[in-house]
Amino acid sequence: MILSVLASNAQAAQFYFCWLGANDYSMVGQMTISPSALNKPLVTQDDVTEFRIAGYLEGTLLGKWDMATREPDDSWILHFDPSRNAFMTPGDVGLGVSQAWNADGTAEDCGNPGFGFNLGNYAQDFCLNGVWIEESGMPPETTFLVSPTPVDPQCRVYAPTS
């Protein structure tokens, strides 16, 4: 389920997202995209001004990662289609890895230290403290929820309150 996000050209857009992995793994995240990028056909990590993710197993926090505390050698690749409000898969962009958030799609650069997520041509999955969590994996074409309002680790959207 993809939800629309409305934002004026004068202000950045907030996106919240949730991923449901295999075996009760899940992830929530938040990103802010600069106003100038909202009309681009492809948003990349260079257009993102804020980004954070948190990984869970059975609702218990496993780890977090964010762009603000990113080390220079942390993997950081993002491909997002703002017209569809969707993170792009390798098939969409013709690359082996379309999302690398502190994990690069090989078990070599794998969320060390901390938590990481990647979406590659083999699977979407987690890394934790340098260890690939294969049992979290989903097929690479799996879509995940993108919302204009916060979501929880079960991918329930929080209704805005007045």
**C-alpha–C-alpha distance, residues 67 and 110, integer Å:** 16
Burial class (CB within 10 angstroms; exposed 0-12, middle 13-18, buried 19+) of 75: buried
Q: Give the 3-state secondary structure of 73-88.
A: CCCEECEEECCCCEEC
- As a whole number, mean pLDDT of residues 22-39 equals 95
- pLDDT tens digits for 64-123? 999 999 988 899 999 999 999 999 999 899 888 999 999 987 767 888 888 999 998 899
Amino acid in position 92 = D
pLDDT of 5 reads 41
Report residue 3's pLDDT band, with 50, 70 and 90 as the boundaries: very low
Q: For residue 8, is pLDDT > 50?
A: no
- 91, containing H or E segment: helix 90-93
What confidence score (pLDDT) does residue 7 get? 41
Q: Distances in Å between the alpha carbon of 48 and those of 36, 67, 82? A: 11, 9, 12
| Better-predicted residue by pLDDT, 33 or 6 | 33
Closest listed residue to residue 88, CA positions, set 54, 40, 148 = 40
% the chain with pLDDT above 70: 91
